[in-house]
Amino acid sequence: MGLKSITTGVFFFFVSQLCNGQEALKVQPFLPDVISQFPNVRDLAISPEENEMYFTIQSYQGELSAVAYIKLENGKWSRPQVAAFSGKYQDLEPFFTPDGLRLFFVSNRPIDNKTGKSKDYDIWFVERKKTGDSWSDPVNIGPPINTAENEFYPSVSKFNTIYYTSDAINPKGKDDIFRSKWKNGQYETPQSLGDSVNTDGHEFNAFISPDESFLFYTCYNRKDGLGSGDIYVSYNNGNDQWSAARNLGKEINSPQMDYCPYFNMKSGILYFSSKRTNLNTKFDKNQSITELLHEMNKYENGLSRLYQVKINNRIEQRNIR
């Protein structure tokens, strides 16, 4: 058995126990002082050095969207700033390549700056020569990935294979997960991940592990779901065959929307977005304005927030295939 099989096997065993509720897990707010400044926050991209974080900030209804970032400075996270490439159009869903030199994101910005006309959502990227440099101007990733319809949530493996959500290329349902391999300096024709991953419903927000051995993604209103969107896991069995998706269970998922998973292979921490709520609605006495505002402004108040949960402290990232 190869090292990849061992690593994947350990992870599979752990998540199998997790799905069956055999592990005591604690979902916690992630950087609440930072995240609570904004009406809605979703998506998370962490640099390989773990000293930069990019995330999406949105208005209450999501009609205004931008990519923001923070940096680790003297052991503390800086104040949030809008990314240099964002703040004019509707931008979201950042993702670092494993070397940290390219950052993908989604935007409705125009391809032709002369017209200034926004289009559907496409996948774009910025890049830099080395860590700490300024980002380049945004580049549209182009066909065959981008189409006249929407493309969302890019996630890239160490082999430069890109996984993403699309509703354009004959999806099985409304939204499906697709993959495009990098070969001879260009992306190949995208392929659906198949029936074990995609259904007649909605599948979106896929995070691929660096070695492409497993996939976290969101499924909407499945029969085995807890309500709204839940995070599932599927394993790469080889030969482009994926295992049937498994719900991560009630210790992670909630009755509300849980989505946008991001897994840190170094720490074993799963980060995700959630609209969960834990507001108290029953009181022994009439509440004052101050008391009601305190309750309404809890972190778990139904608005989109970032959460973290350590699901595996044994998995290791190895340079293997």
pLDDT tens-digit readout, 102-116: 999 999 999 877 766
Distance of CA 264 to the CA centre of its chain: 11
What's the CA gap between 307 and 52, in Å, rounded? 17
Q: Domain of residue 179: give its range.
A: 3-310
> What number is the average pLDDT over the span 48-76?
96
The full DSSP string for 185-201 is TEEPPPEE--TTT--SS
Q: What pLDDT is recorded for position 115?
A: 67
What's the CA gap between 82 and 85, in Å, rounded? 8
pLDDT at 31 over 60: yes
pLDDT at 170 over 80: no
Q: pTM score, two decimals?
A: 0.89
pLDDT tens per residue across span 115-127? 666 779 999 999 9
CATH number of residue 141's parent domain: 2.120.10.30
Whether residue 316 lies inside any domain: the answer is no
Q: How many residues does the chain have?
A: 321
Q: What pLDDT is recorded for position 13?
A: 47
Whether residue 207 lies inside any domain: the answer is yes
Q: What pLDDT is recorded for position 21?
A: 55
Q: Which residues pair with 270 in a beta bridge?
A: 263, 309
Whether residue 196 lies inside any domain: the answer is yes
User: CA neighbours within 13 Å on the CB side: how many for 214?
Assistant: 25
pLDDT at 73 over 80: yes
> What number is the average pLDDT over the span 289-317?
85
Domains identified in the chain, total number: 1
What is the band of 10 on the pLDDT scale with cuts at 50, 70, 90?
very low
Whether residue 15 lies inside any domain: the answer is yes
Are 270 and 263 in contact by the 8 Å Cβ rule? The answer is yes
pLDDT at 269 over 60: yes
What's the CA gap between 272 and 263, in Å, rounded? 8
User: Which residue in 51, 67, 100, 92 sits closest to 210, CA to CA?
Assistant: 100
Q: 113 is written with which tokens?
A: 């700056």
Residues 6+ apart with CB under 8 A from 264: 46, 50, 270, 271
Mean model confidence pLDDT for the chain: 89
Are 85 and 37 in contact by the 8 Å Cβ rule? The answer is no
Whether residue 320 lies inside any domain: the answer is no
Whether residue 321 lies inside any domain: the answer is no
For 255, phi then psi, to 5°, come to: -70, -15
Whether residue 230 lies inside any domain: the answer is yes
Whether residue 315 lies inside any domain: the answer is no
